[in-house]
Amino acid sequence: MRTCSLRVCRFASGLLALLIVVAGAALAGPPLICHTLDIGSAKSLPWISHGWNLTGSESYDTSKLASDTLAILAADSTVIVHMETLRRATLYARKDSAAAKELLAKLTAGTKSVQSGAAPALYYFDVGYLAETYKQWLENSQNPAFGIDGYALVKEAIQLPGHDPQMEFAAALLTLSGPAPQHRDHVQRAMAGAKTDPLLAKNLSSHFIGERGETIAQTLTKPVATGETKP
């Protein structure tokens, strides 16, 4: 069973995949899961917790997970809103393997049949980001995205018309453990874009769960960690 304790999230979860010594012990956590992104007043999936995780008292009907998630994504093209919505969806999906499979299937279908007026880049981005988020929180045997290279899909989205610096931010998170050259490029483009994107700037300047030290931006600009992030 995978866990993400507050201590774990303090150094690696809040968008970290770097190795930091905390009280003499090096711990690691899933960077796409254990940090709540700031989406302002934007709509997302139901969230009553004050922390990164579900409280356990949610009454959300996960049979609606796919339809609710797709409706939110279709109504708001803000990439960070997509990132936070897919993070929440993954937390709910862990409790319902059928819902996890349905959500991925419906998102994937969108890449084959782009709706009129939609930004094609977001379809590829959503599938890629969800695949990588699933990898960090679902057991392989329960993960319908097992074997999918989500980062490759996010890179494809970045190369399509309609991408923005928030996608570079997402890609920087996906490459926290390498490859280093790509990670540096994504970080540089995200930092540059934040100059004219208040929401991106706010997330880059936020602190990690339980920690008032480093900001996300400071962590992203460190050398990438060697090794793989393990929740």
pLDDT in tens, 178-229: 899 999 999 999 999 999 999 999 999 987 654 555 788 887 888 876 544 4
**pLDDT tens, 47-79?**
988 888 898 888 999 999 999 999 999 999 999
Q: Hey, how many other C-beta atoms are within 10 angstroms of the C-beta on 170?
A: 27
| pTM over 0.85, yes/no | no
| Residue 82 domain-assigned (yes or no) | yes
| Residue 133 domain-assigned (yes or no) | yes
Question: How far is it, in rounded angstroms, from Cα 82 to Cα 102?
Answer: 17
| Residue 117 domain-assigned (yes or no) | yes
**Token pair of 124, please?**
């590829």
| Residue 191 domain-assigned (yes or no) | no
Question: How far is it, in rounded angstroms, from Cα 140 to Cα 145?
Answer: 9
| Residue 57 domain-assigned (yes or no) | yes
Reply yes or no on whether the pLDDT at 3 is more than 70: no
| Residue 206 domain-assigned (yes or no) | no
Judged by DSSP in three states, 90 sits in helix
Buried/exposed code over 58-75 (b: 16+ C-beta within 10 A; e: otherwise): bebebeebbebbbebbee
Q: Domain range spanning residue 151?
A: 41-163
| Residue 174 domain-assigned (yes or no) | no
Query: Structural domain tally of the chain?
Result: 1
- For residues 153 and 110, the answer to whether their CB atoms sit within 8 Å is no
| Residue 201 domain-assigned (yes or no) | no
**pLDDT tens, 143-159?**
999 999 999 999 999 99
> What is the percent of the chain with per-residue pLDDT over 90, rounded to a whole number?
58
Q: Hey, how many other C-beta atoms are within 10 angstroms of the C-beta on 90?
A: 25
- Taking the CA atoms of residue 161, residue 164, residue 167 and residue 168 in that order, the dihedral angle to the nearest 10 degrees is 110
